Amino acid sequence: MTSLTLNNGISMPQQGLGVFQIPDAAECRQSVLSALETGYRLIDTAACYGNERAVGEAVKRSGLPREAVFLTSKVWIQDAGYEKTLASFEKTLDNLGTDYLDLYLIHMPYGDYHGSWRAMETLLQAGRVRAIGVCNFLPDRLVDLILTHSVVPAVNQIELHPFCQQQALRQVMAAYHIQPMAWAPFAEGQGNLFHHPVLSAIGQAHGKTPAQVVLRWLRQEGIVSIPKSVHPQRIRENWDIEDFTLSPGELTQIRALDQNRSWILDVPNLTEVYRLHNIPVSQ
């Protein structure tokens, strides 16, 4: 598996397993174990997913040394602010059964995220976390955060798939050497992605599925991806993208699928702001 170097010099695997919407502890543990056995070394969770403890148990059961697994988690909206973020971080470490995180992210650009960022800078300086970043920050709030603090986010985890490629946001991120990390790389199945004619035709040319084509496209675009699955066969299939390369023409075809809008999470939409503020922390 390829790795990328973040803007603070830390190496990060380019593909991992996401565990959003896997609330069942046993199912989550098995998914993480299947991924680690397959070769994945990046696991992405969050305080509001309610499965940090299951992730930590799976990492322990895998027998892998802690330093071999790149663990990412996130602070939720209700825990935004300096003191609340520090307390949430300690609970996350307890849940995961570790004494440090590889990457800690602000989950949403809502609430006192400036206070959260100050807390994360403190944790970074203390060596409690190896890198810090954000999720779902669009250009205005991302640049505001950068201009207000001393540490530039290492990562921005965003909705990113063939139908929502975030080109303008990625240009801003590139200017600050911020690594894009794609959540929902398969658009949660929307847009007929798993049977899309363009992705299917490219896949047939390489003996691959549309899902594998998407992950290979992200790989070649220099984007970290965290596809979620609870099926061992699909977890292995998602991993099996090393033996083919998309041509420049195929990359152009995929880039042409961009509709330049969110399909899943419209961050500035007031309905989403109200909805997300009302989701409790599950840890």
Q: Which residues are catalytic?
A: 49
Q: How far is CA 232 from CA 18, 98, 133, 260, in A?
A: 14, 26, 30, 33
Instruction: Give which of 10, 38, 37 is closest to 240, Cα–Cα.
Output: 38
Sign of dihedral through CA atoms 267, 110, 276, 77? positive
Q: How far apart are CA 71 and CA 35, in angstroms?
A: 13
Q: How far apart are CA 71 and CA 123, in angstroms?
A: 15
Instruction: Give which of 77, 73, 134 is closest to 101, Cα–Cα.
Output: 73
Q: How far apart are CA 205 and CA 202, in angstroms?
A: 5
Cβ atoms 134, 108 nearer than 8 A:
no
- Retrieve residue 8's tokens: 């603070």
Residue with tokens 């899943």: 264
Q: How many helices (H) and strands (E) does the chain have?
A: 11, 10
- Retrieve residue 137's tokens: 């920050």
Instruction: Give which of 159, 260, 161 is closest to 210, Cα–Cα.
Output: 161
DSSP-derived 3-state class of residue 83: helix
Determine how β-strand 179-183 pairs with β-strand 224-225: parallel
- Retrieve residue 64's tokens: 């892998």
